[in-house]
C-alpha cells in the first residue's frame, strides 16, 4: 500500500522507455535494411559494368586481377551452369546457394550476384563489403537502463512527498486539527500541501470559534438561569408583580441570547442573504432610533440585502451604545460614493486602546469588568457577521472628544441622489 503509487509511476516510466527503445530499434533496422539494399544494388551495377562481356578467360582474368588487388578479395566468375570461367586471388570463392546474399565462412565475408547475361560472380574478402552492421537495440536498451536508474531517485522523492501528504491528511482526519504537512519545493505537490495547510488552518479556527462560542454561551446562560430560578422560588413563596416582572425579564434575556446564538450559527453556514431586497437604511435606522429615543440624522440611502438582518445590525449597535456607553446616543446615515455609511456614536468612556481589536469577539469581557456587569455578549459579533454577509465591514473609530463610535459600510444600491 505504501509503495503502490511509486511502483505504478516507476513501472510506467520503465515500460515507456522499453517501448521507445524497441520502436526506435525497429525504425533504425528498417533504415539499415533500406540502406543495405541500396548499397547492394549500386555494388552489383558497378561489378556488372566493370566486367567485360563474353566468356574469354584471359580478358576476364585481367579485369578480375585488378578488382582483386583493389578490393583485397578473392573473385570468381561462373557461367550460367555454375562452371568456373575465371578467378583471381588466392583461391576462387565457391558460389553461394542464393544470389544477392551475403555469407560468412571461416571468418571471411562473401557475397554473390547474378549478371544480366546469366553469369554468376562470387566474391570473398576479409574487409567489410558494405555498410557497417550494427545492432541499435543494444545501445537503446543501455540508454533506457541509464535513464531508468537516473529516474529512480526522482520518482521516489516525488512519491515520498505524496506519502507524507497522505499521512498528514490521515492524522488530521483522525482528529488532530493542529497537524500540518511539510511544504517543500514549488511544484504541484507543494501547491497541494500548501492549500491543505491553509484549509486545515481555516477549519481549525472555525472549530475553535464554535467551541469558544459554545463555552461562552453556556457561561452567559448561567446568570439569567440562576436569577430565573431564584425568582421562581420567591414567586412560589410570595407572588408579587415585581417578582413576575423579574421572571419575564430573565425569560426575555434568555430568549434574546438563544436567538442571537442561533442566528450567528446560521450566518456561519450561509454565504449570502436568503432574502434580498432594496432597503432604505435611513428609514430603517429611524424606526429603530424612535423606539430607543435615539436621534437619527442623514439622507436616504438604499442598500440591497435582508431587511431583517439589517434591522438586527442597527438594533445591536444602538442597544450596545445605550448599554455600555452614555447618552446622548446618535446615529447618522449617508451615502459616500459607492458605499453607504452608518455611524452610531455615544458619549461614554470609549474603549481602551488595547481592547479595540477584540470587541467584535463573541462574549468578550473587558478586563476589570465584573461578571455581574456582563460582557459584550454576541451583539457586536453579529454586527460584524451581518456586515460581512452583505459585502460590507464594521470598525471602531476613536473620537477625540470622548465616547465610542462604530462605523458600518455597506455597498450602495442605485444611483446617488445629490438632492
The DSSP line for 71-107 is HTEEEEEE-TTS-EEEEESSSPPPPPSSTT--EEETT
Residues 65 and 130 in one domain: yes
What is the residue range of 75's domain?
4-136
Average pLDDT over every residue of 144-168: 74
Query: Does residue 166 belong to any structural domain of this protein?
Result: no
* CA-derived radius of gyration, the chain: 49
189 and 242 part of one domain: yes
Residue 365 sits in a domain of what CATH number? 3.30.565.10
Q: What is the per-residue pLDDT for 372? A: 46
Q: How many CB atoms lie within 10 A of CB 245?
A: 11
Residues 257 and 203 in one domain: yes
Closest CA to 346 of 298, 300, 385, 396: 396
Per the structure block, which three cell numbers stand in for 311?
A: 434591522
On whether both 37 and 123 belong to a single domain, the answer is yes
- In Å, what is the CA distance from 239 to each residue of 223, 247, 285? 22, 11, 40
Inform me whether the pLDDT recorded for 407 exceeds 90: yes
pLDDT at 409 over 90: yes
Last residue of a domain, one of 269, 294, 310: 269
* Residue 339 β-bridge partners: 336, 411
Report yes or no on 150 lying in a domain: no
Model pLDDT for residues 363-375, shown as the tens digit of each residue: 666 555 544 444 4
Alpha-carbon gap, residue 297 to 280, rounded angstroms: 13
CATH code: domain of residue 110: 3.30.450.20
Residue 156 maps to a domain: no
Q: Average pLDDT of 42-62?
A: 77
Flag whether 147 is in a domain: no
Beta carbons within 10 angstroms of residue 135's beta carbon:
12
Q: Stretch 154-176: mean pLDDT, rounded?
A: 77
Range scoring the smallest mean pLDDT among 58-67, 209-218, 258-267, 324-333 = 209-218
Query: Cell for 352?
Result: 481602551
116 and 19 share one domain: yes
**Residues 40-46, mean pLDDT to the nearest whole number:** 74
Residue 391 pLDDT exceeds 80? yes
114 and 30 in a common domain: yes
Residue 330's pLDDT is what?
93
CA dihedral defined by 13, 19, 23, 26, rounded to 10 degrees? 130
Report the CATH number at residue 235.
Answer: 1.10.287.130
Domain boundary among 236, 269, 302: 269
332 has a pLDDT exceeding 90: yes
> CA 279 to CA 258: how far, in whole Å?
27
Unique residue bearing C-alpha cell 454576541 = 378
3-state helix, strand, coil in the chain (%, to 5): 55, 15, 30
Of 229, 249, 269, at which residue does a domain stop? 269
In a domain, 163, yes or no: no
Domain shared by 294 and 400, yes or no:
yes
Q: Is residue 157 part of a domain?
A: no
264 with 290, same domain? no
pLDDT given at position 370: 46
Q: How far is CA 342 from CA 26, 173, 334, 391, 394, in A?
A: 80, 43, 7, 14, 9
Residue 324 lies in a domain: yes
Helices (H), 270-378: 281-292, 307-324
Residue 208 lies in a domain: yes
State residue 2's pLDDT score: 46
User: Do 253 and 354 belong to one domain?
Assistant: no
Based on the domain organization, do 373 and 310 belong to the same domain? yes
Q: Are 382 and 391 in contact, with CB atoms under 8 Å apart? A: no
**SS3 of residue 279 by DSSP:** strand
The strand order across the sheet containing 330-336 reads 295-298, 330-336, 339-345, 404-411, 393-398
For strand 277-280 and strand 302-305, is the pairing parallel, antiparallel, or unpaired?
A: antiparallel
| Residues 285, 263 share a domain | no
Q: Region 174-195: what's the mean pLDDT?
A: 79
- pLDDT tens sequence across 379-388: 788 888 889 8
Report the distance separating Cα 359 and Cα 355, nearest Å.
Answer: 7
Decide: 369 and 375 in contact? Cβ < 8 Å. Answer: yes
Asked whether the predicted pLDDT for residue 74 surpasses 60, the reply is yes
Domain count, the chain: 3
Regarding whether 256 and 203 lie in a shared domain, the answer is: yes
Amino acid at each position: 500500500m505504501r509503495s503502490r503509487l511509486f511502483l505504478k509511476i516507476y513501472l510506467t516510466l520503465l515500460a515507456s522507455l522499453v517501448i521507445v527503445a524497441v520502436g526506435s530499434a525497429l525504425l533504425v533496422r528498417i533504415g539499415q535494411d533500406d540502406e543495405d539494399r541500396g548499397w547492394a544494388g549500386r555494388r552489383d551495377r558497378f561489378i556488372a559494368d566493370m566486367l567485360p562481356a563474353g566468356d574469354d578467360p584471359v580478358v576476364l582474368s585481367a579485369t578480375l586481377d585488378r578488382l582483386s588487388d583493389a578490393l583485397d578479395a578473392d573473385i570468381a566468375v561462373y557461367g550460367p551452369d555454375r562452371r568456373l570461367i575465371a578467378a583471381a586471388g588466392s583461391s576462387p570463392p565457391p558460389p553461394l546457394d542464393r544470389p544477392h546474399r551475403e555469407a560468412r565462412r571461416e571468418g571471411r565475408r562473401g557475397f554473390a550476384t547474378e549478371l544480366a547475361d546469366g553469369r554468376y560472380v562470387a566474391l570473398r574478402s576479409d574487409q567489410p563489403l558494405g555498410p557497417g552492421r550494427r545492432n541499435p537495440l543494444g545501445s537503446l536498451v543501455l540508454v533506457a537502463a541509464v535513464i531508468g536508474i537516473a529516474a529512480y531517485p526522482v520518482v521516489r522523492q516525488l512519491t515520498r512527498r505524496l506519502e507524507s501528504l497522505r499521512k498528514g491528511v490521515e492524522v488530521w482526519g483522525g482528529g488532530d486539527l493542529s497537524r500540518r504537512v511539510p511544504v517543500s519545493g514549488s511544484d504541484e505537490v507543494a501547491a497541494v500541501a500548501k492549500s491543505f495547510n491553509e484549509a486545515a488552518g481555516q477549519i481549525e479556527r472555525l472549530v475553535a470559534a464554535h467551541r469558544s462560542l459554545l463555552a461562552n454561551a453556556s457561561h452567559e446562560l448561567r446568570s439569567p438561569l440562576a436569577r430565573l430560578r431564584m425568582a421562581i422560588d420567591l414567586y412560589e413563596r410570595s407572588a408579587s408583580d415585581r417578582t413576575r416582572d423579574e421572571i419575564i425579564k430573565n425569560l426575555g434575556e434568555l430568549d434574546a441570547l438563544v436567538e442571537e446564538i442561533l442566528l450567528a450559527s446560521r450566518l456561519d453556514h450561509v454565504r449570502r442573504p436568503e432574502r434580498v431586497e432594496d432597503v432604505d437604511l435611513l428609514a430603517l435606522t429611524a424606526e429603530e432610533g424612535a423606539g430607543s429615543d435615539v436621534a437619527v440624522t442623514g439622507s436616504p440611502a438604499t442598500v440591497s440585502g435582508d431587511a431583517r438582518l439589517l434591522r438586527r445590525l442597527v438594533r445591536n449597535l444602538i442597544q450596545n451604545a445605550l448599554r455600555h456607553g452614555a447618552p446622548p446616543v446618535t446615529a447618522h446615515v449617508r451615502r459616500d460614493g459607492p458605499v453607504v455609511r452608518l455611524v452610531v456614536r455615544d458619549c461614554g468612556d470609549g474603549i481602551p486602546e488595547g481592547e479595540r481589536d477584540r470587541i467584535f469577539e463573541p462574549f468578550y469581557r473587558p478586563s476589570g469588568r465584573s461578571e455581574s456587569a456582563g460582557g459584550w455578549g454576541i451583539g457586536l459579533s453579529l454586527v460584524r457577521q451581518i456586515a460581512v454577509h452583505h459585502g460590507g465591514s464594521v470598525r471602531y473609530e476613536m473620537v477625540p472628544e470622548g465616547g465610542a463610535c462604530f462605523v458600518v459600510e455597506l455597498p450602495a444600491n442605485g444611483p446617488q441622489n445629490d438632492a
